[in-house]
Amino acid sequence: MTQSPLTTAKSRQYFARATQVLPGGVNSPVRSCQAVGVDPIMIDRADAAYLWDVDNNRYIDWVGSWGALILGHRHPRVLEAVEVGLRYGTSFGAPCLPEVELAELICHVMPAVEMVRMVNSGTEATMSAIRLARAYTKRSSIIKFDGCYHGHADSFLIKAGSGLATLGISSSPGVPAELTRLTISLPFNSLPAVEQAFKKHADEIAAIIVEPVVGNAGLILPAPGYLEGLRALATKYGALLIFDEVMTGFRVAYGGAQALYNIKPDLTCLGKIIGGGLPVGAYGGRKEIMEMVAPSGPVYQAGTLSGNPLAMRAGLAQLKSLQNPQTYGELSRNTQRLADGLKEIADKATIPLTVSSITGMITLFFAKSPVDDFSAAQKADTALFSKFWQGLLCRGIYWPPSQFESAFVSLVHSKADIDDTLTAAEESIAACCE
């Protein structure tokens, strides 16, 4: 495989139009590709593990709608569910059976979730979970972790990952200083830092919110005993433990990271995979906590499109398709094959590279040593990553356009897709070494 220039005239033309009517030409910052020094390609269509841009260039897709499409694009079972739903109607603004069925499935698979509220995005889920935790504990402060991204609600835009890390923004204008004082941001994987925060603010901290596997600063795994330690500290000091599994839910295991690590959080936030590619979010947990949500209790939260029948049907179809016991073994093998290949390339390279992976997720860091927190991730060479990413794109590989994002492996990525990606990666890294 050799690098060949892409024909992207239509992409450039359409993106120029987009910049006139959309801030930065996009509706989510990382998509702008500013971090990798190019204008974004404009996608026209997708199928299975592939994307085609408006100039008809084909790419192997390792973004997968940022993790939502674990079955790949246009999976027949998901399409069929949506097509059936279209015949019944796109939105009711009233209760419907699919939302009940999806809630029942989630509660069955995740024992920590006894009751769940459907919403429309991961941001809405985490924002609502924090409000609920504050009401339940009658406390105001929260603990989050540097580099973890929990959506764009005000409370979370302090030392956050994802687009903020990509664009070098540590906080955001428009967030009142008074509110930032209620958020304590600590280094990930440091239990002493959490213990110290509780000793100093024990009666103020309502909750710990954490990505159990960090995916928004690049992929960072929890150290052995870390999640267990968070569970113990939250219990000791009377705070709630919230797992943000918007990314990891039904990806790293069928029951999410909480099943993989055998930890029972008080509240769980979900999104992405549970919507089958349609906009969705959810938060749930112990019944005594969730019954505080209106109309059962006084904590208000509402949404016109919450429990949208199309999203519920698509999510149900995707989750049911993942129930085969062999599914996650296959996903793990696909991920490991890609990770092993990248590690072999990294071992030969004359530039610093390290690979982090878990079932369904992977990051190639341009860093000297394994990355175990956001501070280590920030030491990665983003200029080299930019050059690498451009090399991949020109070779037909669509990798997340940021050093601080995870790539996502799907069940439809073939051995040939992985081999082609590894060839492209080796050539791109060789070019970076020149």
Active-site annotation, residues: 149, 244, 272
* Residue 79, phi then psi, degrees to nearest 5: -60, -40
Q: How many CA atoms lie within 13 A of 426 on its CB side?
A: 18
Cα(205)–Cα(131) distance, integer angstroms: 13
**SS3 label, residue 270:** strand
| Kind of pairing between the strands at 267-271 and 205-210 | unpaired
Cα(311)–Cα(424) distance, integer angstroms: 36
- Chain center to CA of 266: 20
Cα(266)–Cα(281) distance, integer angstroms: 17
* Residue 194, phi then psi, degrees to nearest 5: -70, -45
Look at residues 340, 341, 344, 368 and name the one whose alpha carbon lies nearest to residue 354: 368
| Kind of pairing between the strands at 240-244 and 267-271 | parallel
Return the number of other C-beta atoms located less than 10 Å from residue 173's C-beta: 6
Task: Read off the tokens for 429.
Answer: 């890294």
CB 215 within 8 A of CB 284: no
Give one DSSP letter per residue of 192-233, joined into a string: HHHHHHHHHHTTTEEEEEE-SSB-SSS-BPPPTTHHHHHHHH
CB 377 within 8 A of CB 11: no
Cα(101)–Cα(80) distance, integer angstroms: 17
